[in-house]
Chains A and B, each alone.
Chain A
């Protein structure tokens, strides 16, 4: 059994001819959502199912993941914390601000926060970043998976408020939550256009791929804010 680090804090465990995505367990011995714990060379890893995590799928789709061990991450749409737990593994010296609007899923997320030292839960509407601007500092990465019709706008609002100049936006766009009827390709094109042109902050998109076969009708993208947009408005 071997292990290779494919990005900071993200590993593939090779066992025979099967490969498994994994992160190093920040809280050894604890499995968060029933995922398998694997020990390799004295370290414990948590296997990471790309079908249950858009970030995981983005890793397998060969995105460069701009998260380092000391990154500060704003995670919008944290849900029950399946992916958040892996981000928490990836940033042992950093911090994750996990925003979730539903009290029901926040119940599960809090159980996770209780067990991990680097997640701050925020029960708030990601579409209104001003309402949690007294809590969240400037961050290196915004990861957003909110499945809302106005998700491009939500990303822009949060980036404007919280993203450092050289920070990255990672976005999972779900076509079906923007338009249930239109073709996903068209929806993606329109969303990308919005991100580039529509808002106070414009984005430069580095990479985008559809997340099939792990997630149907989802687009993953990594972007940065264009510098000129930052200064002209407060």
Chain B
């Protein structure tokens, strides 16, 4: 029986002694490549109880136990490094971008609020927030810099805000410039995500939207894992807290996880949301599977989803009547929105 080891292809006779050894070249990089080569990984492996180390010495591949340890360790490290450098997939780029987007959102909101409070000392009448505010401050600094033909001139001239010193103006302007940069980075990450998801997973992008698609891939861990999930899981990913509360205690099951952000669900009346979430999740599953295996855009998915929605809407035009439970039981039908 022939089988492969990290140092060569061997054969043993009926007694289990090595009868043939076809050794690999003793080049560390070559050995490392062999080690993780799919053909080798999937090839016939040594029989149970086979002593690799003794065979390596017997075949003359290494001269001693120490050499065996040293060589195998070095080859193992090289092989693992090779595998790692090969693992930087599109999915990982998508996941890191989504995470970066969320991080920036968190930070930029906090900084914008700070800027609003800070600049409010000098120009409280200014009715701007978030990105427009940051742009305004980084452009003008002091409200005395607003030119007379600007629509804000009147407000600025009569403001009750404090006078700003040069040092303060410089500081707050630099702060605002940084906030602006963060908004710009955020927008370019978003554009990048839309582009990469649309080209890599066209069906997912068509059904879920590129950004929601990216989030689903990120939460699942990869497009492959998302495709392998049952769509009941797709329906509730991102609603972990509600789901486990449901499994552990008597809480109602969550209707939607992150897919709540899908405009079809978000904008639906509350009594249709669960049904629509189920339909959308089912189509997302289809879409991610097509993307994983063929990658070609299948336009029939969207058509089918639209038809399914028609059916749901037609069947549930009015909110269901709330059933009052008798016998003093707590009414459990209170509307609770569950996601996140």
**Which residues on A sit within 8 Å (CB–CB) of B4?**
134
**Interface stretch (choices A60-68, A120-128, A208-216):** A120-128
Choose from A122, A136, A161, A180 the contact partner of B80 (Cβ within 8 Å).
Answer: A122
Please measure, in the bound complex, the distance between the C-alpha atom of A120 and the C-alpha atom of B77, giving whole angstroms.
7
**Which residues on B sit within 8 Å (CB–CB) of A118?**
69, 73
Whether B76 and A121, one on each chain, are in contact in the complex, defined by CB atoms closer than 8 angstroms, is: yes
Tell me if B244 is interfacial: C-beta within 8 Å of chain A. yes
Per the 8 Å Cβ criterion, residues 128-167 of A in contact with B are 130-138, 160-161
Whether A117 and B51, one on each chain, are in contact in the complex, defined by CB atoms closer than 8 angstroms, is: no
Tell me if A171 is interfacial: C-beta within 8 Å of chain B. no
On whether A117 and B70 interact (CB within 8 A), knowing A160-B48, A181-B247, the answer reads yes
Tell me if A39 is interfacial: C-beta within 8 Å of chain B. no
Q: Chain B 244-267, CB within 8 Å of chain A: the 1/0 string? A: 100110000000000000000000
Q: Kindly name the residue among A117, A121, A160, A180 whose own CB sees the greatest number of chain B CB atoms within 10 A.
A: A121
Question: Taking CB as reference atom, which chain B residue is nearest A121?
Answer: B80
On whether A110 and B247 interact (CB within 8 A), knowing A131-B41, A160-B48, the answer reads no
Choose from A119, A123, A234 the contact partner of B84 (Cβ within 8 Å).
Answer: A123
On whether A135 and B247 interact (CB within 8 A), knowing A110-B84, A123-B80, A160-B48, the answer reads no
Whether A103 and B87, one on each chain, are in contact in the complex, defined by CB atoms closer than 8 angstroms, is: yes
Whether B48 and A161, one on each chain, are in contact in the complex, defined by CB atoms closer than 8 angstroms, is: yes
Q: Kindly name the residue among A103, A107, A109, A160 whose own CB sees the greatest number of chain B CB atoms within 10 A.
A: A103
Per the 8 Å Cβ criterion, residues 52-101 of B in contact with A are 52-53, 69-70, 72-73, 76-77, 79-81, 83-84, 87
Whether B84 and A103, one on each chain, are in contact in the complex, defined by CB atoms closer than 8 angstroms, is: yes
On whether A137 and B53 interact (CB within 8 A), knowing A110-B84, A120-B73, A181-B247, the answer reads yes
Whether A135 and B76, one on each chain, are in contact in the complex, defined by CB atoms closer than 8 angstroms, is: yes
Choose from B45, B77, B83, B84 the contact partner of A134 (Cβ within 8 Å).
Answer: B45
Question: Taking CB as reference atom, which chain A residue is nearest B248?
Answer: A181
Question: Taking CB as reference atom, which chain A residue is nearest B70?
Answer: A117
Nearest CB on A from B33, distance (A): 14
**Which residues on A sit within 8 Å (CB–CB) of B47?**
234
Nearest CB on B from A155, distance (A): 16
Interface residues on B, range: 20 to 34
**Which residues on A sit within 8 Å (CB–CB) of B228?**
none
Total contacts A to B, CB within 8 angstroms? 78
Nearest CB on A from B245, distance (A): 11
Whether A95 and B51, one on each chain, are in contact in the complex, defined by CB atoms closer than 8 angstroms, is: no
Question: Taking CB as reference atom, which chain B residue is nearest A98?
Answer: B76
Choose from B36, B45, B80, B244 the contact partner of A133 (Cβ within 8 Å).
Answer: B45
Tell me if A106 is interfacial: C-beta within 8 Å of chain B. yes
Whether A122 and B76, one on each chain, are in contact in the complex, defined by CB atoms closer than 8 angstroms, is: yes
Whether A107 and B73, one on each chain, are in contact in the complex, defined by CB atoms closer than 8 angstroms, is: no
On whether A120 and B70 interact (CB within 8 A), knowing A107-B84, A110-B77, A134-B46, the answer reads no
Q: Chain B 101-125, CB within 8 Å of chain A: the 1/0 string? A: 0000000000000000000000000
**Which residues on B sit within 8 Å (CB–CB) of A136?**
52
Please measure, in the bound complex, the distance between the C-alpha atom of A109 and the C-alpha atom of B77, giving whole angstroms.
10
Please measure, in the bound complex, the distance between the C-alpha atom of A122 and the C-alpha atom of B77, giving whole angstroms.
8
Known contacts A120-B77, A161-B48; 6 additional CB pairs below 8 A are A103-B83, A109-B80, A118-B69, A131-B41, A134-B41, A181-B247
The 6 closest A-B pairs by CB, nearest first: A133-B45, A120-B76, A137-B52, A103-B87, A121-B80, A123-B83
Q: B residues bordering A, Cβ < 8 Å?
A: 3-6, 35-36, 40-43, 45-53, 69-70, 72-73, 76-77, 79-81, 83-84, 87, 244, 247-248
What are 26 A-B pairs at a CB distance below 8 A? A95-B69, A95-B73, A110-B80, A110-B84, A113-B76, A113-B77, A117-B70, A117-B73, A119-B73, A120-B73, A122-B76, A123-B36, A131-B42, A133-B45, A134-B3, A134-B4, A134-B35, A134-B41, A134-B46, A134-B52, A136-B52, A137-B51, A137-B52, A137-B53, A138-B52, A180-B247
